[in-house]
Every structure is written in structure tokens, then in C-alpha cells.
């Protein structure tokens, strides 16, 4: 199994101190930075755009794991690539042609992620698994931070891990939504190797980021 990586979500950071918050994450041992981009259309909230990502990237030497919850997504891929995204994750429902959008991300020399909402079926992406680097399984309905983990999505993680193993594929399985110290082990056991967490990393143990990251890795 791949080593467990932690991708802290800056959705739970202090937005008035984002540059410093990212430095704290990097010093605390984060493997990458998870950036949730929401458009108020595909999901019911608005967050940050390319100028903020570009500014934050200057403060950070680790990868930016950018989750685009925007529709239509295809025409914005290049803008986020230029802003500094290292991994660009999109939803199949947000593009008219998932294959074309995957090729677009690859053409910009970025890693490709595809995300599935709790109600999205695995067969939306099974034909594309050989072409992508990461599958992001949402364990909450996207749009807001601080929601409760939905354990029923773990069956999707297990199915995905089984396909990956049987076909000797190499994509990462990331999970995002309500990940904390109580459920991280079940997510890892199901097959996830990248955990996205916001509230737990920033708020638990009096904000001891390093400790919280290590606890999520089950160290």
C-alpha cells in the first residue's frame, strides 16, 4: 500500500492569515495543500480563485492539490494550472466531455484528479482510471466545511481499491469530508492513501498541526 499522505484543507484556516497558515502546515509536515474552489453554482458556496492561489503559492514549496467544484469546468482548467495548481481535480458532472478535460489537464503537465460526490456512481469514471492520477471520494456533500463524515462512501473506496489492485493500476485514492481521528483508520483500511482534513488539523489539540497530522497518519 502507498504511504499515507495528508492534504490539509485551507477551508478551515484563518483566511486573514492564509500565507502564515500555509507556512504552519508545511512546517507541521503536510504532504500537500488542499484548496477547495467553489463557484456558488456547482456547489452552494463561494471560496477562492486563481489570484489567491497564485499569491499563496509563493509561500509554499509543497504541492497544491486543487479541487475544482465549478461548472462548466473545462474552460477554467488552464487558468488554475497557470495559478500554480499541481494537481487539478474535477467532477465528471461538471464537464461536457470528461476525456477531453483529462487530456487538457495532462497537456498542461499537471496531475489529473477526478472527484465523486457521495451520490455519484463509480461507473462515471471506471473507463478513465488508467488515464488519471487520483480519485477523490467525497465523504460529505461538497459545499461547506465542518460536515459529518458519511461512512457509507467507504464501500466505494473499497470497490475502487479492488479495481486498482486487480488491474495493477497506480492512482491515488483521496478522501475528503469530516475526516477525523475517529474515522481515519477506517478510511485507510478501505484503501484511501490521501486524507483531506480541515477542522481536525487546525482546531484539535489546541491547533497543534504537527501532532494532528501525525495522528491522522496513525503514527
SS (H, E, C) 102-153: HHHHHHCCCEEEEEECCCCCHHHCHHHHHHCCEEEEECCCCCCCCCCCCHHH
pLDDT of residue 218: 86
SS3 content of the chain, % helix, strand, coil (to 5): 45, 20, 35
Q: How far apart are CA 214 and CA 57, in angstroms?
A: 24
Task: Indicate the average pLDDT of the chain.
Answer: 94
Has 176 been annotated as catalytic? yes
pLDDT of residue 146: 67
pLDDT of residue 2: 78
Where along the chain do its domains lie?
5-216
The answer to whether 146 and 112 have CB atoms below 8 angstroms apart is no
Of 10, 24, 12, residue with least CA distance to 67: 10
Q: Could you tell me which residues come within 8 angstroms of residue 62 by beta carbon, excluding any fewer than 6 positions away? A: 26, 30, 31, 32, 33
Q: How far apart are CA 81 and CA 153, in angstroms?
A: 29
For 47-99, write each residue's pLDDT tens digit: 899 999 999 998 799 999 999 999 999 999 999 999 999 999 999 999 999 99
Q: Could you tell me which residues come within 8 angstroms of residue 75 by beta carbon, excluding any fewer than 6 positions away? A: none
pLDDT of residue 203: 95
pLDDT of residue 39: 87
Q: Which CATH architecture has domain 5-216?
A: Alpha-Beta Barrel (3.20)
pLDDT of residue 214: 96
pLDDT of residue 145: 64
Q: What pTM does this model have?
A: 0.96
Has 36 been annotated as catalytic? yes
List 36, 39, 133, 172, catalytic entry:
36
Helix then strand count (H, E) for the chain reads 8, 8
**Matching residue, cell 499563496:** 56
Low-confidence ranges of the chain (pLDDT < 70): 1, 144-146
Q: How far apart are CA 21 and CA 26, in angstroms?
A: 9
List 31, 133, 172, 176, catalytic entry:
176
Q: How far apart are CA 101 and CA 160, in angstroms?
A: 21
Amino acid at each position: 500500500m502507498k504511504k499515507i499522505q495528508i492534504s490539509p484543507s485551507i477551508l478551515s484556516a484563518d483566511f486573514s492569515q492564509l500565507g502564515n497558515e500555509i507556512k504552519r502546515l508545511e512546517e507541521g509536515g503536510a504532504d500537500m495543500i488542499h484548496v477547495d474552489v467553489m463557484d456558488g453554482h456547482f456547489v452552494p458556496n463561494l471560496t477562492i480563485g486563481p489570484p489567491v492561489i497564485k499569491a499563496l503559492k509563493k509561500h509554499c514549496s509543497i504541492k497544491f492539490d486543487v479541487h475544482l467544484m465549478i461548472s462548466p469546468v473545462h474552460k477554467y482548467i488552464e487558468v488554475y494550472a497557470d495559478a500554480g495548481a499541481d494537481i487539478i481535480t474535477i467532477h465528471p458532472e461538471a464537464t461536457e466531455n470528461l476525456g477531453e478535460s483529462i487530456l487538457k489537464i495532462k497537456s498542461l503537465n499537471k496531475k489529473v484528479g477526478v472527484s465523486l460526490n457521495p451520490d455519484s456512481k463509480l461507473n462515471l469514471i471506471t473507463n478513465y482510471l488508467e488515464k488519471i492520477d487520483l480519485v477523490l471520494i467525497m465523504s460529505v456533500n461538497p459545499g461547506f466545511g465542518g460536515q459529518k463524515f458519511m461512512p457509507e462512501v467507504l464501500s466505494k473506496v473499497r470497490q475502487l481499491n479492488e479495481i486498482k489492485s486487480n488491474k495493477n493500476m497506480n492512482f491515488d485514492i483521496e478522501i475528503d469530508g469530516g475526516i477525523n481521528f475517529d474515522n481515519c483508520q477506517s478510511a485507510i483500511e478501505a484503501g484511501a492513501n490521501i486524507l483531506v482534513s480541515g477542522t481536525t488539523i487546525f482546531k484539535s489539540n489546541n491547533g497543534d498541526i504537527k501532532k494532528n497530522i501525525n495522528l491522522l497518519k496513525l503514527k
